Amino acid sequence: MTIDALLPLIAIFCAGLGAGFINVIVGSGTLITFPVLLMFGYPALTANMSSNLGLIAGNFSGVYGYRREIAHLKPLVKKLLPASLLGGVTGALLLLVLPSSVFDFAVPILILLGIIMVVISPMVQKRTAAKLKVAGGAGHHDSLAMARPALTFLTVAALGLYGGYFGAAQGVLMVGSLGMLLAVSLQSLNALKNALVAGVNVVSAIIFVLFTGDLIDWTVVLLLAAGAALGGLLGAKVGRSLPPSVLRAVIVVIGTIALINMVV
């Protein structure tokens, strides 16, 4: 194999590595893999679906890295995962029938809202914790109760729909939204986000394989999966050690970069 033929393969693997790393800490890994695949001439739909499948390996390695936090959050995961799965299936089906322009206007606005929610969520969490009578407030003790269960379920379903359709910055939106609705620490939110996003990506990937398998490039999927699996493990190790203030700052910075990339 020549150097010219090898370089794209290396670049795609590295894109998967970076995306897997960022997805576990924040989300938005699609904003790395999708442009890279387009740069090498892959059609947009192929790039989107192949990226979705390839990054699932990173989702699983991230869930494994946060397994202690997720074990603590098991009641919440059981309650909210069905909403994520329902939304993911709906979003993936919409991708097959709707033009991408449908979401072009809404996506930057959603990302901006996610960034704002990440910033103001500590104040909202204190009120939520007080309502749930959590001693010490959010950030110190996690409450697995939901002050607004119906709204929380609908929000997670809507985010799953978005994730099944495209998914860029899904993590930023999920951490921001759930931070407004749940009285849990930022690290716990990150762990919960990893579990729910993994569910969304799995069900949407199944739909893509069943209905549009001929559009998927399996070489790309394997390269991204190898990189994302390693990146997810590294990201979980780094993310779990970050203080809440630093993790919040990372989310805001990457979310802002994602927003700029989409509107420029």
Instruction: Write the DSSP assignment of 224-242 as a string of letters.
Output: HHHHHHHHHHHHHHHHHHS
Q: What is the pLDDT of residue 168?
A: 67
Q: What is the pLDDT of residue 142?
A: 62
pTM: 0.79
Q: Average pLDDT for residues 105-124, to the nearest whole number?
A: 70
Q: What is the pLDDT of residue 225?
A: 96
Q: What is the pLDDT of residue 116?
A: 79
85: left (phi over 0), alpha (psi -120 to 50) or beta: alpha
Which one has a higher pLDDT value, 132 or 68?
Answer: 68
Q: What is the pLDDT of residue 206?
A: 93
Domain residues for 112?
3-263
Summarised one tens digit per residue, pLDDT across range 157-171 is 999 998 888 776 777
Instruction: Say whether pLDDT at 176 is over 90.
Output: no
Q: What is the pLDDT of residue 43?
A: 85
Q: What is the pLDDT of residue 258?
A: 66
Q: What is the pLDDT of residue 197?
A: 92
Rounded percentage of the chain residues whose pLDDT exceeds 90: 30
**E strand map for 114-260:** none
Measure CA 245 to chain center: 20
Q: What is the pLDDT of residue 210?
A: 92
Distances in Å between the alpha carbon of 257 and those of 86, 110, 122, 229, 250?
29, 14, 22, 23, 11
Tell me the one-letter amino acid at 178.
L
Please report the sign of the dihedral spanned by the C-alpha atoms of residue 152, residue 155, residue 161, residue 165.
negative
Q: Average pLDDT for residues 91-98, to the nearest whole number?
A: 87
Summarised one tens digit per residue, pLDDT across range 211-250 is 988 889 999 999 999 999 999 999 888 877 877 677 677 7
Q: What is the pLDDT of residue 121?
A: 63
Summarised one tens digit per residue, pLDDT across range 51-89 is 889 999 998 998 998 898 889 889 899 999 999 999 999
Instruction: Say whether pLDDT at 139 is over 80.
Output: no
Q: How many domains does the chain have?
A: 1
